[in-house]
Amino acid sequence: MKEGNKISILMIYGSPRKRGNTDELMNRFEKGLLDNKNMDQNNLLIDKIFIKDLKFSPCIECRHCSIDGECAVKDEMQGIYPKLINHDFIAISSPIFFTSVSGYLKAFIDRCQRFWALKYELKKRIIKKERKGIFISAAGSDSVTIFDCSHKVIRALFDVLYIKYDRDFVYNKIDLKGDILKHPEALDEVFEYARNLIIE
């Protein structure tokens, strides 16, 4: 537990559907945080990004970030980059579309190319601390491999943000809006993780 410092959690909602299954899981994660005795609740900051509400362009592959690590596209992502750098913990959610994350979330992640350029091309570490992150997802399919592509995408993002992929919460046969509510054990699993989370 941090003493005398703010603990900041960033929650990134990647679904195009408000109050859908992954939103319900994220909301349960937040409730767990608010019930967490390991954290000073007065110093807990929870920040939320609903990607569907952002106005931003996909990456245009101009390669400008390879020059100075900055993105040349000036839109609402410019205000998001500091959040990705400064928060202590990041939770990302998305339903599965065609075996991967939603198009909204994928476009968001593609705009993080600047962090890849900073780390691997320019050898600049602008993120000083190691952090943790989780991925929350639901898929209508019952395939055991349905989350494989999403794991790789999220892992790649966490890598350039110096985030340890702590674990994921992924659930099959969850398709129609509200289906996750029929699985209280899934909601409880996310809640208990957040309620017992320790951030160094």
pLDDT digits (tens, 9 = 90+) for 52-106: 999 999 999 999 999 999 999 999 999 999 999 999 999 999 999 999 999 999 9
pLDDT value at 3 more than 50:
no
Question: Are 120 and 152 in contact, with CB atoms under 8 Å apart?
Answer: no
DSSP 8-state assignment for residue 90: E
Question: Are 95 and 102 in contact, with CB atoms under 8 Å apart?
Answer: yes
Residue with tokens 């209508």, as numbered in its chain: 140
d(CA 25, CA 31): 10
pLDDT value at 13 more than 50:
yes
Q: What is the pLDDT of residue 103?
A: 97
Domains of the chain: 7-195 (3.40.50.360)
pLDDT digits (tens, 9 = 90+) for 162-199: 999 999 999 999 999 999 999 999 999 999 999 999 99
Q: What is the pLDDT of residue 200?
A: 80
- 37-66 burial, b for 16+ CB within 10 Å, e for fewer? eebeeeebebeebebeebebeebeeeebbe
Nearest-10 crossing angle of helices 21-34, 184-195: 40
pLDDT value at 2 more than 70:
no
Average pLDDT for the chain: 95
Is pTM beyond 0.75 here? Answer: yes
Predicted confidence band of residue 129 (pLDDT cuts 50, 70, 90): confident
Sheet of 163-171, strand order: 44-50, 7-13, 89-95, 131-138, 163-171
Question: Are 138 and 106 in contact, with CB atoms under 8 Å apart?
Answer: no
d(CA 148, CA 141): 13
Q: What is the pLDDT of residue 29?
A: 98
